Amino acid sequence: MLRGKNILLGITGGIAAYKTTFLVRLLIKAGAQVKVVMTQSASSFVSRLTLSTLSKNPVLMDFVNQEDGSLSWNNHVELGLWADLMIIAPATANTLSKMANGTCDNLLMAVYLSAKCPVYFAPAMDLDMYRHPSTKASFDKLESFGNTMIPAETGELASGLHGEGRMAEPETIVQFLIKDLTKDLPLSGKKILITAGPTHEAIDPVRFLGNRSSGTMGFELAKRAADLGGKVVLVSGPTNLTIDEGVTIDLIRITSAQEMYDACHKHFKDTDVAVLAAAVADYRPKHVAVEKLKKKDGDLQIELERNPDILFSLGEQKEHQFLVGFALETENELENAKGKLKRKNLDAIVLNSLKDAGAGFGKNTNKISFIDKNLEIKTFGLKTKPEVASDIWEEIIARIHA
């Protein structure tokens, strides 16, 4: 959620300022660009050099820079426009009061007053200051401006007293931001289960039966669901694909169909939407050799037994879940896909035909039809897999919100 976001961090003069080094690290790790503006008094608590090194940007404090013998102007309006969101942490009683009253006596205040983006503030002060009616009045006024408070926590305070006023921990601030930014997204609060990739069925310790699925379609579906605010569990067979840092997806890597079955069943009960895009092996060797099979004269026969059909088994257990399967067909595509939709008790099925040039395994493009349980069919043109993932989610969201 924070990936690619421009975040302006305003630091004011309280002891909790030292924790902003960790906050900057977490925001950068989540994929955000961070610029820091601090007050003079904040610089007594945390070093400008530390923050500029961590944020990979100069840390601004004054309207005018006097570096290398030349003067330059820090443009507060530009900074305000650059930001997708602004966090003031720690926000002291003094700064909160200035924000509430529009007192513009430093660069940070000028940036705050120029910012058009959502503003969050994380107060930090001693408990009596936190409870003082004038501080409460600042909170109320700032919330009436549309700013969002990240409440202080209760615990030991720098004064030695115990009570409310500790700045929220950096991890809590990041979680708060993510939750707040995703609250209006269409998959917010929904648990999404996705399967991807092939499965490998062991023959002996070094050999397996597999298929050419790259896992791209399932990974793109998972990434898109996370962007739409979903809490995503991605169960993937062996692939080279990874999830970018900063994307919150619970990736469970498995090898065999049985392991995929177990992982899916573990998560299905409280899942809201399940999309099974994996190319699961239908059969597995009946006996897995303990030692590597030796070459012998003549042919080798391997007896295969059926793997469980994961999608079918989830269809049997389905209660409130919206269940989507994939069908990769070579003949009688539509009829076969409709048959699977009914037999596996699905809410929708995504059909891709191997006959369509550019569709299917190992390609970066796909061409699909989305068929729902009322047999309403929507056919799309040839698109990239991220675009296809987007189309599929649009169709699902239209139905779960209907």
Residues that bind ligand C5P (CB under 6 A): 195, 257, 276, 278, 280, 282, 307, 309-311, 325-327, 340
Q: How far is the CB of 116 from ligand C5P (least distance, A)?
A: 45
Catalytic pick among 6, 211, 336, 345: 211
Beta carbon nearer to ligand C5P, 190 or 284: 284
CB 55 within 8 A of CB 34: yes
Beta carbon nearer to ligand C5P, 230 or 325: 325
Beta carbon nearer to ligand C5P, 354 or 377: 354
Which residues on adjacent β-strands are paired with residue 351? 327, 369
Q: How far is the CB of 110 from ligand C5P (least distance, A)?
A: 56
Q: How far is the CB of 354 from ligand C5P (least distance, A)?
A: 12
| Nearest residue relative to ligand C5P (C-beta) | 310
Question: What does DSSP assign to residue 20?
Answer: H
Beta carbon nearer to ligand C5P, 329 or 387: 329
Given 3-state DSSP classes, what are the helix, strand and coil percentages for the chain, each rounded to the nearest 5?
35, 25, 40
CB 91 within 8 A of CB 123: yes
Rg (CA), the chain: 27
CB 396 within 8 A of CB 324: yes
* Residues near 71 by beta carbon (within 8 Å), at least 6 away in sequence: 64, 65
* Residues near 120 by beta carbon (within 8 Å), at least 6 away in sequence: 85, 86, 87, 88, 89, 147, 148, 149, 150, 173, 176, 177, 180
CA distance 69 to 76: 22
Q: How far is the CB of 219 from ligand C5P (least distance, A)?
A: 14
| 352 part of the active site | no
CA distance 272 to 253: 21
Q: How far is the CB of 72 from ligand C5P (least distance, A)?
A: 58
Beta carbon nearer to ligand C5P, 307 or 353: 307
CA distance 236 to 78: 44
Enumerate the active-site residues. 211
